[in-house]
């Protein structure tokens, strides 16, 4: 029995949901609109301010999809009502980030700078203060998209375990290793 799939999705004030033929779920809220295609064998119903997802049988694949679609719909509801935010920190001497519209320019210690074009759904903000690491803030209503973009930025220079240099999430713990010890 899917514990996540059986939970109803609660719709907060100002959020509406529309379920069309072919199981296309559209969620509208104060921050925007998102849509998700749900498999045809799943049943999606709105009862009052709750959305309930049902599966026809207890097959392994349908159990997995039950929890997945419930989570995806819940993420859409949270996204259009509150939104999502991810902060990245650049740790290293000379590392910098500059946002020019939807283009992010990163200097990460390589011989060249990275220019990254971000989707229109993501808003970007960079903060660089003296004696502090640059911070990149990504905000969006789409959890999947913002997580994907953040992981692509992080993949340009992953934090290394010896000095901790690289692009990391704010609050992320980097497990450090001891360097070589000199033997005399």
Among 33, 99, 45, 107, CA closest to 70: 45
Model pTM? 0.89
- Residues 6+ positions from 57 with CB-CB distance below 8 Å: none
What's the mean pLDDT in 133-150?
A: 96
Split at pLDDT 50, 70, 90, the class of 1 is very low
We report the CATH number of the domain holding residue 55 as 3.90.930.12
The predicted-structure confidence for 73-115, as pLDDT tens digits, reads as follows 999 999 999 999 999 999 999 999 999 999 999 999 999 999 9
* Same-domain status, 17 and 64: yes
The total of structural domains in the chain comes to 2
* Same-domain status, 52 and 114: no
The predicted-structure confidence for 22-53, as pLDDT tens digits, reads as follows 889 999 999 999 999 999 889 999 999 999 99
Tokens standing for residue 45: 């119903």
- Residues 6+ positions from 108 with CB-CB distance below 8 Å: 90, 92, 95, 114, 156, 157, 166, 167
Tokens 């992320």, residue?
A: 172
What's the mean pLDDT in 119-148?
A: 95
């Amino acid at each position: 029995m899917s514990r996540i799939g059986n939970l109803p999705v609660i719709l907060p004030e100002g959020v509406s949901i529309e379920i069309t033929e072919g199981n296309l779920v559209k969620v509208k809220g104060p921050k925007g609109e998102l849509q998700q295609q749900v498999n045809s064998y799943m049943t999606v119903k709105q009862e009052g301010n709750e959305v309930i997802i049902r599966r026809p049988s207890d097959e392994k694949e349908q159990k997995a999809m039950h929890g997945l679609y419930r989570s995806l719909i819940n993420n859409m509801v949270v996204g259009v009502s509150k939104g999502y935010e991810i902060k990245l920190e650049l740790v290293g001497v000379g590392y910098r980030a500059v946002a020019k519209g939807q283009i992010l320019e990163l200097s990460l210690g390589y011989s060249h700078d990275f220019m990254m074009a971000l989707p229109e759904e993501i808003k970007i903000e960079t903060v660089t203060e003296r004696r502090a690491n640059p911070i990149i803030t990504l905000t969006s209503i789409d959890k999947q998209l913002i997580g994907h973009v953040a992981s692509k930025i992080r993949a340009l220079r992953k934090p290394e375990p010896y000095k901790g240099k690289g692009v990391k999430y704010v609050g992320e713990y980097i497990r450090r290793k001891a360097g070589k010890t000199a033997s005399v």
